[in-house]
Amino acid sequence: MSSTVAGPAGSDRPSVAWIGLGIMGSPMAENLIKAGYPVTGYTLEPEKLQRLATAGGTAAGSVAEAVRDADVIITMVPASPQVEAVAYGPDGILENARPGTLLIDMSSITPGTSVALAEAAAAKGVRVLDAPVSGGEAGAIEAVLSIMVGGDQADFDVARPLFDALGKTVVHCGPHGAGQTVKAANQLIVAVNIQACAEAVVFLEKSGVDLPAALDVLGGGLAGSTVLARKRDNFLRRDFAPGFRIDLHHKDMGIVTDAARAVGAAIPAGALVAQLVAALRAQGDGGLDHSALLRAVERLSAPAA
């Protein structure tokens, strides 16, 4: 691939195949359409394909159909097994993408999976970036995501205009797998932050403090954070409609604890919160937003029957 990605005839934007149209993927693909990119999408949910078509994209009937004529392929699926499922095999990306295509995986997966994918793709003449994101559903809708990217600098430079249509903080973090390593650290920080906020909310309420007022002043001081700002209403309303599901954060905490163990990094607070996330999931709350960690703190704080 040259230093640019050629677009289809009559377009100054490369054609994009988007695989995975979930809570994050759908608004992200729609933001590329708004930015003028021709987007062909594939996902397992027919209603999401209809949503893409309504937004001006094109629905494909399979991964192979979506990627066959694409200049850029973007995957946004839940975890490593799903990335491997869409990438490999006779109907997968690597067997059907044209040589010279740029594959950008924006899923949150293990660094090792990203490295292996880049190596397998290179044998097919396909270049790969791992580019996981942070910012949740709201960040995806508003196109203000943080995007942490691993791979070759030249490929990052090619992809930069697409990233700029999706996020506000876009950083090349190093070689293949580096983006996923930074994302694992991000998920560690977010989980611990949500847990601390949840504990503060229960403490404040049980102390009889005006909770909205307390969160306002905390948000304006050193305790303020993007997590507190984004999840404030979730805490106040007990609204745990999924923006980022506990199930997915459970997966991510497994990634960061395994990766930390592999490099000899102690993460005691992270290990504890990983257990709390796992417990909440075991209690049936895996489909809720990760701000539902508040529910676990409330259960622990409930008076004995």
- Single out the catalytic residue among 183, 206, 231, 251: 183
Q: Residue 103 is encoded by which pair of tokens? A: 């594959």
By CB atoms closer than 10 A (0-12, 13-18, 19+), residue 98 is: middle
Dig out the tokens for 149 from the structure: 């990217």
Q: How far apart are the first and last CA of the chain?
A: 66
Q: Where are the beta strands (DSSP E) in the chain?
A: 16-19, 39-42, 58-59, 72-75, 102-105, 127-130, 133-134, 145-150, 167-174
Q: How far apart are CA 284 and CA 282, in angstroms?
A: 5
- For this structure, is 251 an active site residue? no
Q: 183 in helix, strand or coil?
A: helix
Nearby residues of 136 by Cβ (< 8 Å), 6 or more positions away? 24, 230, 243, 244
Dig out the tokens for 239 from the structure: 């609204």
Catalytic residues: 183
